[in-house]
């Protein structure tokens, strides 16, 4: 029993005991409060959940409820305000607030006596998180996690903030969390009318903020030029990225710039992508031993990261690196992409095929400890000369570059290393590769950051897209098989008659999927079709789009809501357009609708895409850089996408023509491979293949645009020229440097 809480039934107590027992011997209760026999002193309803984040709070002395009607009914019965706390399992300051406040018996007792407390994993419920994060931003001008909101029993917020120190004066604060709670409780009890007025006013603003900015006209190429110009103005010419610090990867910005470069040949646009990605893969934000990227850089130089690793960052950055490799043929981008993909396969993949969500920033009670090195540690693992070479290459010094220790980063130029140590490039590559392998093995013996092993469709779908694209670009079956296995896992375990569940853990699929889950999974399945040419993936994309159209599409105004019409009714129903660390579902679904239209030759998909683009286009006006992925979708619409059909003889596999596709950056295309003997059967699903033949008994490429096809070809170089031919974005596009 937690202190100060309402009594719970014997039945519920028994459920707690059963759930705790099922966790097994490896389960480590995350609490400071234990009984004499070593068991946790307190247990709350979160013990019944599967979310790693919620389970981290299952033994707090706070009487936590998961989000749901039970908590709000009890708040109404007791006439209490609701304290909503939102975070995620790898959030450093969420851990701090847990230790300081939610593990504090005095604070917990006050919460239990005067509030109904709800804990939400933002990754499980992005719909709930988004609504109340908007509330905090409206109230405070900024947001973040942990997020703290206090609301009425009818879910209307009247107070919001982020992290609060526990008591007055802690961490230099004037007012601590306990004092804030006391004042809120007093206001709710003594001046309820004012609280209700305040809650109604905030809710009105929230509803107004949830409506997309109305468009002033049909978006055109000028919008894309304006976005590119603003990005150029904000670009850090020295280190890459935008602004000063902190710096977030935000891959959709660079994807937009690659598309913009392709349509304008503006060298500045490509330079921004190259400099930024080189800064990231050489900096401390990249894990040079295991591969993969940390969340963001706290400084301008990409040196000191926030050390958590998120699946969605690594999925998007892998995909971006693959595209950049196609453009530049620079081996540094290929290597970084492969190291990241291999990291995900090795450390972030479930035995059944799904991909885990994240790893924590903290270990041994401190942020970053797992990833830091001293010269003494390196010298105990590597031989003298190899240690010196490695420390020079990766900036490991006595003074360190982060709190007295060193974050690995590539600082010394390659040629300088060759000259200083008298090595050939091959010799240096082998020394560094062997050293990294040895240090990785040593690091594996350290206490690892916590792994959040829940499987989220949205993030898995992005990773499937990256693996499937890598399988195509590198002609690598290892990556293709990983994408297929993850796709099959989701379809078998998280889908039922076209409807998706957002998360999966401990054998249980939970929570209605949101727009982003459907949008990214359709995109992933289309990439799987392009890579494997297995028609099932195209059909599954169409099935998911049908669900999306039925439950999420705004048939009157265009655009898609975050939640489906059959899902829980929340305070507002948002229609997202902002592309932050994750692109919005609308930005993604508009582009996949355009792709489906090309594949099926069904104009209804394109009509929905265009209506939705118009509905969301207010986010692109005046050169706004808040929706770069939406700008990518617009760029497709302003292009004439290529339909690439390769027909092969009935025997043998096509290699030479497909290699041209692997090597060429052609983002606005669809790809169909067909054996001549299967053309007639395929034409029922893919009308574009009708009457296509393998000319002269050789693999033949047909590149078509709209209803017009270029001359069929058996020649790789002819195909390359056809693919690389690109229309200018507009007749007169000013280059950024002008």
Give the long-range contacts of residues 4-13, CB within 8 A, separation 24 or more: 4/63, 4/108, 4/109, 4/110, 4/111, 4/112, 4/113, 5/63, 5/112, 6/63, 6/74, 6/78, 12/45
In a domain, 436, yes or no: yes
In a domain, 507, yes or no: no
pLDDT at 652: 66
Point out which residues pair with 148 in neighbouring strands. Answer: 85, 161
Place of tokens 């990225």: 241
Same domain, 181 and 266: no
Same domain, 324 and 389: no
Place of tokens 């919008």: 223
CATH number for the domain harbouring residue 190: 3.40.30.10
Q: Above 90 in pLDDT, residue 343? A: yes
Same domain, 374 and 271: no
In a domain, 188, yes or no: yes
In a domain, 141, yes or no: yes
Which positions ≥6 away from 535 have C-beta within 8 Å?
Answer: 529, 682, 685
Q: What is the DSSP string of 13-81?
A: HHHHHHHHHHT-TT-----S-B-TTSSBS---GGGG---HHHHHTTTSSS-EEESSHHHHHHHHHHT--
**pLDDT averaged over every residue in the chain:** 95
Predicted confidence band at 738 (pLDDT cuts at 50, 70, 90)? Answer: very low
Same domain, 29 and 123: yes
In a domain, 304, yes or no: yes
Contact (Cβ atoms closer than 8 angstroms) between residue 371 and residue 307: yes
What's the pTM?
A: 0.95
Same domain, 140 and 52: yes
190: number of Cβ within 10 Å:
9
pLDDT at 734: 41
Structural domain ending residue among the three candidates 414, 448, 482: 448
Classify 389 as helix, strand or coil. Answer: helix
How far apart (Å, rounded) are the C-alpha atoms in residues 108 and 724? 63
Tokens of 735: 């280059």
Region of residue 72 (left: phi > 0; alpha: psi -120 to 50; beta: else):
alpha
Same domain, 244 and 309: yes
Q: 145-159, 201-215, 441-455, 536-550: lowest mean pLDDT where?
A: 201-215
Structural domain ending residue among the three candidates 194, 209, 224: 209
Same domain, 422 and 309: no
In a domain, 97, yes or no: yes
In a domain, 321, yes or no: yes
Q: Which domain holds residue 399?
A: 369-448
| pLDDT tens, residue by residue, 596-651 | 999 999 999 999 999 999 999 999 987 789 999 999 999 999 999 999 999 999 77
Q: Above 70 in pLDDT, residue 459? A: yes
Contact (Cβ atoms closer than 8 angstroms) between residue 647 and residue 700: yes
How far apart (Å, rounded) are the C-alpha atoms in residues 237 and 231? 11
How far apart (Å, rounded) are the C-alpha atoms in residues 288 and 646? 40
Run of H or E including 246: none
Contact (Cβ atoms closer than 8 angstroms) between residue 502 and residue 571: no
Structural domain ending residue among the three candidates 315, 347, 379: 347
Same domain, 183 and 64: yes
Same domain, 333 and 269: yes
pLDDT at 216: 72
Among 292, 316, 324, 318, smallest CA distance to 305 is for 292
Q: Above 60 in pLDDT, residue 700? A: yes
| pLDDT tens, residue by residue, 517-543 | 999 999 999 999 999 999 999 999 999
CATH number for the domain harbouring residue 655: 3.40.30
Same domain, 117 and 195: yes
Same domain, 183 and 38: yes
Tokens of 261: 């470069």
In a domain, 176, yes or no: yes
Same domain, 393 and 333: no
Q: Please state the domain count of the chain.
A: 4
């Amino acid at each position: 029993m937690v202190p100060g809480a309402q009594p719970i039934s014997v039945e519920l107590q028994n459920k707690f005991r059963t759930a705790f027992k099922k966790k097994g011997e490896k389960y480590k209760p995350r609490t400071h409060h234990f009984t004499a026999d070593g068991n946790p002193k307190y247990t709350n309803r979160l013990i019944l959940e599967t979310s790693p984040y919620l389970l981290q709070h299952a033994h707090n002395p706070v009487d936590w409820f998961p989000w749901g009607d039970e908590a709000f009914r009890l708040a109404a019965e007791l006439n209490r305000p609701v304290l909503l706390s939102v975070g995620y399992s790898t959030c450093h300051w969420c851990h701090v607030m847990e230790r300081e406040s939610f593990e504090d018996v005095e604070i917990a007792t006050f919460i239990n006596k005067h509030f109904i407390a709800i804990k939400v994993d933002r990754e499980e419920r992005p719909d709930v998180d988004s609504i109340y994060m908007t509330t905090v931003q409206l109230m405070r001008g900024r947001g973040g996690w942990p997020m703290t909101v206090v609301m009425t029993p009818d879910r209307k917020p009247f107070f919001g903030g982020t992290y609060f120190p526990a008591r007055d004066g802690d961490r230099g604060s004037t007012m601590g969390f306990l004092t804030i709670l006391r004042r809120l409780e007093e206001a709710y009890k003594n001046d309820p009318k004012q609280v209700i007025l305040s809650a109604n006013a905030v809710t009105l603003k929230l509803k107004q903020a949830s409506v997309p900015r109305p468009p002033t006209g049909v978006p055109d190429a000028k919008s894309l030029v304006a976005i590119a110009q603003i990005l150029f103005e904000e670009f850090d010419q020295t280190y890459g990225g935008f602004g000063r610090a902190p710096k977030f990867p935000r891959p959709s910005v660079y994807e937009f710039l690659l598309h913009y470069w392709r349509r304008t040949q503006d060298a500045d646009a490509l330079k921004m992508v190259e400099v930024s990605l080189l800064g990231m893969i050489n900096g401390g934000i990249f894990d040079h031993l295991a591969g993969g990227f940390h969340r963001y850089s706290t400084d301008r130089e990409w040196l000191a990261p926030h050390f958590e690793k998120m699946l969605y960052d690594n999925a998007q950055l892998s995909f971006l690196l693959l595209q950049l490799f196609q453009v530049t043929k620079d081996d540094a981008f290929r290597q970084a992409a492969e190291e990241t993909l291999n990291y995900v396969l090795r450390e972030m993949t479930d035995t059944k095929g799904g991909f885990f969500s994240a790893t924590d920033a903290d270990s041994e009670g401190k942020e970053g400890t797992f990833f830091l090195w001293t010269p003494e540690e390196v010298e105990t693992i590597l031989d003298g000369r190899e240690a010196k070479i490695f420390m020079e290459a990766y900036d490991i010094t006595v003074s360190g570059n982060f709190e007295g220790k060193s974050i690995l980063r590539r600082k010394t130029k390659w040629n300088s290393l060759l000259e200083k140590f008298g090595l050939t490039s091959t010799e240096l590559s082998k020394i560094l590769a062997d050293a990294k392998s040895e240090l990785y093995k040593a690091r594996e013996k350290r206490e690892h950051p916590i792994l959040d092993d829940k499987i989220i469709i949205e993030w898995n779908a992005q990773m499937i897209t990256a693996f499937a694209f890598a399988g195509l670009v590198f002609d690598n079956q290892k990556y293709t098989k990983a994408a297929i296995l993850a796709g099959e896992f989701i379809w078998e375990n998280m889908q039922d008659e076209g409807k998706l569940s957002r998360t999966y853990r401990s054998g249980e699929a939970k929570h209605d999927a949101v727009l982003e889950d459907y949008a990214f999974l359709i995109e992933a399945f289309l990439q799987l079709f392009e890579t494997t040419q297995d028609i099932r993936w195209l059909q599954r994309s169409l099935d998911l789009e049908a669900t999306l159209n039925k439950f999420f599409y705004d048939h009157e105004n265009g655009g898609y809501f975050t939640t489906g019409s059959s899902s829980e009714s929340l305070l507002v129903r948002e229609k997202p357009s902002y592309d932050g660390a994750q692109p919005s579902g609308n930005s993604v679904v508009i582009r996949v609708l355009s792709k489906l239209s090309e594949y099926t030759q069904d104009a209804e998909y394109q009509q929905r895409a265009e209506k939705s683009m118009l509905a969301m286009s207010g986010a692109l006006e005046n050169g706004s850089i808040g929706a770069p992925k939406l700008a990518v979708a617009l760029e497709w619409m302003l292009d004439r996408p290529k339909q690439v059909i390769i027909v092969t003889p009935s025997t043998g596999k096509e290699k030479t023509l497909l290699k041209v596709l692997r090597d060429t950056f052609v983002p606005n295309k669809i790809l169909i491979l067909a054996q001549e003997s299967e053309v007639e059967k395929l034409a029922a699903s893919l009308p574009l293949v009708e009457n296509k033949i393998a000319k002269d008994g050789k693999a033949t490429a047909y590149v078509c645009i709209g209803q017009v096809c270029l001359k069929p070809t058996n020649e790789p170089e002819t195909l390359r020229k056809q693919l690389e031919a690109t229309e200018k974005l507009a007749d007169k596009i000013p280059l950024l440097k002008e």
